[in-house]
Amino acid sequence: MIGALAASLGLSPDDPSFWMPLVFMGMLFVLIVAGTVLDGFDLGVGILLRLAPIEERGRMMALLSPWRDANEFWMLLGVGLFAAAFPFAWGVILGQLYAPLTLMLMGIVLRSVSFEFRLRARTEAKPRWVHGFWIGSLMTAFGQGMALGRIATGYQDVAGYYWFSMFVGLCAVAAYVLLGATWLVMRVEGDLQRRAVNWARHAIRWTAAGMVAIAVTLGLANAGIFYKWSNLSHLGPAVAVWVAMLLGFVGTEMVLMRLPRHAERFSWVPFVGCVGLFLLMLGGLAYSLFPYLVLDDMTIWDGAAALGSMRLVLSGAVVAVPLIVVFNILAYRSLFGKARRPAPMPGADMSSRN
């Protein structure tokens, strides 16, 4: 398959002009997956702040503290890698996704500022920064969903597709709520865990609707993608993906129904199942779009930088990746497992937890 693809481009599989863009796309996919999952539970918990009791909001934000800097790192690294490796596609895609990316960037900045300022604010001002973190999380998730909706419709300027992008934005908010809620189910106990189970059960239906809508729209909006998934030679893997997603949704829902009383030792299963659903969706999206950066218009080789530039970026990546792996193993080693509720300080009142 690789040989046929290289031949169709008039290149050899051993030619750096052929395999270097593939390497960068593989790296970019890993960063997108890491950013979606690892920053995703952070976003989900932020969106859930307004639904949580006032006395639990400070605790929820404190649970995120060990991973806040690491979570934001993935997005910045992904954007930098894409701009460096595919500069000819950068301007085209940025122009098509200007509105959702601007909304997402504003949300990221607001989240970061609110989180840091809350730590240093006076007690009476803390709820204001919690509210800012919630708004920033909502903006970021909705912006990502809108961008995904625009990509799925091939950036077509039709009124109905803009409404579809907004629908996907809402479903993306639900998907991150599901990821954040299942993470809380795994991490906490008591009343907050019961609430998280309820939030997850409400969000899972909208998440399923969004994933199905993306898959159907990709096929209906582009004949090439429809052929990819319906071709008899690829029908087996396509059916396997759909069955795996169905089992993932059903299995996650069944475990949530039994929590927290009857299946406490399986409290990690909904989060792992949710991560699996995200991986299936992102993998299916990557398969559908490959080898295009802009559907039917620009392939990854059309958008790639000059060979010398790619060599320079790849040399930096070879040095940086091992450091990144070690850093993130240390940062995320306590992601699983129950978090202990901190003992209250003597004389502390409930308002100090906001």
pLDDT at residue number 340? 63
Task: Give the chain's length.
Answer: 354
Contact assessment for residue 195 and residue 49, using Cβ atoms and an 8 Å cutoff: no
Structural domain of 125:
16-310
The CATH number of the domain holding residue 245 is: 1.20.1630
Range scoring the smallest mean pLDDT among 282-291, 308-317, 318-327: 318-327
What digits encode the pLDDT tens for the residues 36-89? 888 889 999 999 999 999 989 988 988 888 777 777 777 778 888 888 889 998
Q: Is residue 350 part of a domain?
A: no
Q: Is residue 317 part of a domain?
A: no
Contact assessment for residue 136 and residue 109, using Cβ atoms and an 8 Å cutoff: yes
CA 184 to chain centre: 17
Q: Over the chain, what is the mean pLDDT?
A: 85
**Domains identified in the chain, total number:** 1
The answer on pLDDT for 177 being more than 60 is: yes
What's the pLDDT band for 334 if we cut at 50, 70, 90?
Answer: low
Q: Is residue 347 part of a domain?
A: no
Q: Is residue 339 part of a domain?
A: no
Please give the single-letter amino acid code of residue 164. Answer: F
Q: What is the pTM of this model?
A: 0.89
pLDDT at residue number 223? 83
CA dihedral 90, 91, 97, 99 (to 10 degrees): 130
Q: Is residue 47 part of a domain?
A: yes
Concatenate the DSSP letters of all residues of 30-63 into one string: HHHHHHHHHHHHHHHHHHHGGGS-HHHHHHHHHH
What digits encode the pLDDT tens for the residues 225-274? 888 888 877 778 888 888 999 999 999 999 999 887 776 788 889 999 99
Q: Is residue 203 part of a domain?
A: yes
E strand spans, the chain: 292-294, 298-299
What digits encode the pLDDT tens for the residues 187-198? 888 899 999 999
DSSP conformational letter for 162: H
Count of beta carbons in the 10 Å neighbourhood of residue 322: 9
Give 251's contacts (C-beta < 8 A, 6+ positions apart). 269, 273
Please give the single-letter amino acid code of residue 59. Answer: R
Structure tokens at 44: 């989900």
Q: Is residue 4 part of a domain?
A: no
Q: Is residue 170 part of a domain?
A: yes
